Amino acid sequence: MKQKLSVVKIGGNLIEDAEECKHVLGLFSKLDGNKILVHGGGNKATELANQMGVESKMVNGRRITNAETLDIALMVYGGLYSKKIVAKLQSLGTDAIGMSGADADAIRAHKRPKKNVDFGYVGDVDMVNTYGIFKLLQAGFTPIFCALTHDGKGQMLNTNADTIAAELAIAMSDQFETTLYYCFEKKGVLQNVEDENSVIKHIDSKGYDELLAYGIIADGMLPKMHNCFYALRNEVSKVCVGNTNMLKAENSDYTTLTL
């Protein structure tokens, strides 16, 4: 029987809010078994770029990463946020280790090809070093991944944190029974965006297609749900979407996705 693994993705907004950060990391530290945390940080990167007089450009909600903004991403994701999270988790008894894709050659990517838009130093994942990550987990460490990868030739790349979480969950599913958690501000996928309590408790592939057709899943939820079903179609056991309280064992008020 495979060991269980939880891959939990949190946004940068949860890290910036001191009380919410304490809450989510406390819940994460109490998760049983093997676990990996993936964190974003785009809003802080934009804020720091503005303070430094560096223009941040977005196209369809996706960040354009030039040389200057890549350096800022390295500072925020791999430095500021990573070390804050690691230090807090150590205080909670979790032996955390901050990781980018370059550390231990954990995640390699290629620079996204120019098509209609040149996204600059943005990476699309090619490979996850499952052996290295497995050895860290078996040694008792909890990897904390930021939204950075590398190309194996010395170039760092900015990579979407939701995508990194999905790719990690997929790659590790050969060795573990893996559950992927996407934590964000809502309780789950909502039937009515105006009603915070209209959580759809379960969505399968057929239900997903219907929700898309009726426009219930739209806008910012589209790429997140794409990653959810991409993970499920590639052997991830279960995907959960909701706020941080879904990490409580007794809580069931969130969305579970299965094929």
Residues 91-112: pLDDT tens digits? 999 999 999 999 999 999 999 9
The domains located in the chain, with CATH, are: 3-184+241-252 (3.40.1160.10)
pLDDT recorded at residue 116: 85
pLDDT recorded at residue 78: 96
* 145 and 99 Cβ atoms separated by less than 8 Å: yes
| Listed range (73-77, 148-152, 216-220, 224-228) with the worst mean pLDDT | 216-220
DSSP string, 172-239: HTTTEEEEEEEE-SSSSSBSSTT-TT-B--EE-HHHHHHHHHTTSS-TTHHHHHHHHHHHHTTT--EE
Angle at 253 between CA 222 and CA 9, to 5 degrees: 50
| pTM score | 0.95
pLDDT recorded at residue 220: 78
